[in-house]
Amino acid sequence: MRNQQQMMELILDTAQHNPHIRAVTMNGSRVNPNVPKDVFQDYDIVYLVDTLEPLVSDHRWIDVFGERMIMQLPDREQLPMHDGMIKFMYLIQLADGNRIDLRLQHIDHWREYVNEDRLTVILLDKDGRLPQLPAPDDRDYWIQRPTAADFAGCCNEFWWVSTYIAKGLWRQELLYALDHLNRYVRPQLEQMLCWQAASQHQFQITTGKSGKYLPQYLDDSTMARLLATYPHADNEAIWQSVFVMVELFDECARLVAERLGYMYDDGEAQRVCVHLLHVYALPADAIHMYE
């Protein structure tokens, strides 16, 4: 696997020898001082170019980066090139383990680009067109303080969809139950945990994509309970994970509400918890009770 020095030399050398590439910037985790460094970090590179046409019309020029394992072209549907096209993206996973997320950006639109992300550093500026940028920081990714409506909406969605899980489990529809648990309910729990963590740090932290840095802000007990909400595909195991999830959410939501001065609908939470316990205890032939 090529190291960072080798990759950066390759990225900059490619830019130096291509007359259409007028500037190079890098953003993302490699310029974030708060992110631990490891071998799996992408190279988030932007080539600011005077024209896209010769580059996007023949992709062979990217072979210079090495053997590819797999690649995606998110903007492929824009091809062939049209007059309004100002950027194009290559997501390149190289066979040696390195990954380059390479964006071509028309340099005439540099003003819009440099204001997109505070995590940006200029690596090359052939024409001196780009401004001096402030030191990179990750404040654009800090968790935002929720409004009272945001908080109430998160709580309501959590408790509302929890009833779907109970229904699916009683019917033995495990795929349905797991889908609602992971697709709709879990994000609300993670959001509440992120708000709890951020509220302890004046909303000046980020927990990263998919909450990957969230464990840094949870005590061991809370982290263990969060992991316990990931069940095996077994009816009883899912039920137990639901009970852990609702307990954890309720506890966390009360704390966030207290810290932010918001109202927590305790009645809503209690009524849904009673309903979940009721459905859990229902016998499989409960339908006959209502005929």
Window from 3-7, 94-98, 132-136 with minimum mean pLDDT: 132-136
My answer on whether 125 and 242 are in the same domain is no
pLDDT at 15 over 80: yes
Q: Which of 105, 120, 140 is the last residue of a domain?
A: 140
Do 80 and 149 share a structural domain? no
**Which tokens hold the place of 33?**
């001082």
Q: State whether 148 and 281 are in the same domain.
A: yes
Q: Do 83 and 174 fall into the same domain?
A: no
238 lies in which domain range? 142-290
214 in the same domain as 112: no
Same-domain check for residues 191 and 233 = yes
Select from 140, 172, 207 the last residue of a domain: 140
pTM for the whole thing? 0.87
Residue 35: CATH number of its domain: 3.30.460.10
Q: What is the pLDDT of residue 199?
A: 97
Q: What is the pLDDT of residues 166-204, one digit of tens each?
A: 999 999 999 999 999 999 999 999 999 999 999 999 999
In our burial notation (b when 16+ CB lie closer than 10 A, e otherwise), range 159-188 reads: bebbebbbebbbeeebeebbebbeebbbeb
55 and 172 together in one domain:
no
Q: Indicate which CATH number applies to the domain containing 156.
A: 1.20.120.330
Cis bond leading into 187, ω under 30°? no
Q: Say yes or no: 126 and 225 in one domain.
A: no
Q: Please indicate, yes or no, whether residues 278 and 147 belong to a single structural domain of this protein.
A: yes
Sorted by sequence, the CB contacts under 8 Å of residue 122 that are 6+ apart come out as 23, 24, 25, 130, 133
The answer to whether residues 111 and 195 belong to one domain is no
pLDDT of residue 189: 98
Whether residue 111 sits in one domain with residue 66: yes
Are residue 148 and residue 135 in the same domain, yes or no? no
Domain count along the chain = 2
Q: Among 111, 140, 169, identify where a domain stops.
A: 140
Helix or strand run (H / E) with residue 26: strand 21-27
